[in-house]
Amino acid sequence: MTKAWCPCGSGRAYDDCCAPIHLAGAGLGRTAEQLMRARYSAYVRCDEDFLRRSWHPDTQPARVTFDPGLEWLGLEVIRTEAGSGLDTSGVVEFRARFRRGGEYLELHETSRFTRVEGEWVYLDGS
């Protein structure tokens, strides 16, 4: 049986990459970048539960909705600032490519992450 590649672009199998992070009780990643990659994979997989759990309580939306006409095409991490196992905050800049209908688009965001009770969470992005 062939393992599916992880949508986050790590080059690893999903089961060995973002899947353990998506599972309840598995923590939310060891670094801010790892959590950002898991959140991208969650958008690809329409995993609202994980996205809400990985959002900071102060900025978490009431619902996460998914566009059924959107197809995620890839993720590129541009840079990271801090966000390691020793930090309490971090920044990850990325580009996420997607297609909606016949139009190819890109989301370019600089995301801020922080720790809540020792776990990385997404705070906000611009």
**pLDDT score of 2:** 62
Neighbours of 18 (CB within 10 A): 28
Residue 1 has pLDDT above 90, yes or no: no
| 4-43 per-position pLDDT tens digit | 999 999 999 999 999 999 996 656 789 999 999 999 999 9
How far apart are the C-alpha atoms of 94 and 112, rounded to whole Å?
11
Walk me through the domains of the chain, giving residue ranges and CATH numbers: 14-125 (3.10.450.50)
The whole-angstrom distance between residue 35's C-alpha and the CA centroid of its chain comes to: 5
Quick check: pTM over 0.85? yes
